[in-house]
Amino acid sequence: MTPRPLHVLVVDDSAVVREVMSALLSQEAGISVAVAADPFIAMTKIKQRRPDAILLDLEMPRMDGLTFLKKIVREDPIPVVVCSALTGPGTAVGLQALEEGAVEVVTKPRLAVKQFLHESAIILIDAVRAAADARARAPRAPAPAPRLNADVVLPPAAKPAARVPTETVVAIGASTGGTEALRVVLEAMPADAPGIVVVQHMPEGFTAAFAQRLNQTCAIEVREAAHGDSLTTGLALIAPGNRHLLLCRDGARYAVEVIDGALVSRHRPSVDVLFRSVAQSAGANAVGAILTGMGSDGAEGMLEMKNAGAFTLAQDEASCVVFGMPREAIARGAVDKVVGLPRMAHEILNVPWQKSRSAAGRG
C-alpha cells in the first residue's frame, strides 16, 4: 500500500540543518517539506498550510522549541518530532519535550557521512510518519527501504532453548510513545521483580538520561546497559541508543552484550535482535512484552520467543500511541495475551507458566 502524502514543517534556526532535513525528507515519495527559521515564522506557515507533522529544533532565537511545543500542544495539537543534539543540555530538554507531548525525538544528522545520512533518512522518514499516525491512530507499514532481519546480528538457533532451573527474564520492546508506556510499566514493578531487558527506540545519548529519570521514580534499579552487565533481580537494563542489546547466559547467570551492527527491522537497537537473543538464552524462562510503536520491529523476535516457550504479551490498541508493533506481533500469532497498559506490569508478574502449549512449541 502506498503511504499517504504528508506535509512536514521543519523548524530550525540553522540554514544548513534546514537544507539537509529537507533533502532527506523530500527524497521520499509523497512527502513535501516547508521550512521555518524560528517559531514565529512557523506559526505563519502553519496558518498558510497546516502540516501533518512538525520537525522541531529546541534551541532557537526569539522563542525556544520547548515553549513552541507547549503552545502547539495547547492550541492545535499537530504531532511534533523533536530534533535535538546528541548530548549536553539538549538531552535533558529533549526528554522534557517527550513529557510535554512530543511524539518522538531524533538526532540531528551528522553531515558529510554517507552511511549516517542514509540511516538518518530512514529514521527521519519513519519518525514523521509515526507522528502522523499517532494522531490518526491508523498506523501503516513504513515506506519501502532496505530491510534487514536479526540474522545480520545473531544467527537463528538450531532449536529453541530448553527450560532449565534459572531466574525469569522479562524482555520489553517499544518505540513511538514508549517512553511513557515504559514509565507506567517499570514504576509498577516491585523491588524484587525479575531482571528486565528493554529496547526503546531512542537516539544515542538519550537512553542514559532516560534510564536515570526512571531510576529516580522506580522501586527497581534502572540503568543504561553496558557490555558484560549481569542481569539480576530488581534490575532493568535499557539498550543504549545506536547499539544492539543481546541477552546471554553462562550457566544460570544472565548477562548482556552491547554490540554494533546494521539497522535491523529499520532500527538499532532492534527489538527483534533482543527478543531472538532472549529466546535463545532464556527460552521458556522468559516473558516478552511488546508495547506501542510504529512498524514491525519485534514481531518476528516475539514469535521466536513464543516458539521457545516464553509467555508473550502485547499492549492493546486502545492504550497505544501507535498500534503498529503490537498489531504486527498479534498478526503473526506471536502473542499469548493482549492487555491494556495499566495492567501490563501485573500480567508480566503473574505469568501462567502452565499454559497449554504444544510439545513442538517447547522444543
Instruction: List the catalytic residues.
Output: 175, 201, 297
Written as nine digits, the cell of 179 is 517512553
Find how far residue 289's CA is from the centre of its chain.
13
DSSP of 174-240, one letter per residue?
Answer: E-TTHHHHHHHHHHTS-TTPPEEEEEE---TTHHHHHHHHHHHH-SSEEEE--TTPEE-TTEEEEPP
Give the whole-angstrom CA distance, residue 238 versus residue 222. 8
Helix (H, G, I), strand (E, B) or coil at 331: helix
Give the whole-angstrom CA distance, residue 200 versus residue 65. 24
DSSP of 302-324, one letter per residue?
Answer: HHHHHHTT-EEEEE-GGG-S--H
CA-closest candidate to residue 180, choices 159, 160, 202? 202
CB atoms within 10 A of CB 139: 27
Residue type, 347: E
Confirm if 310 and 287 have CB atoms less than 8 A apart.
Answer: yes
How do beta strands 104-107 and 80-84 pair?
parallel
CA-closest candidate to residue 182, choices 164, 206, 162? 206
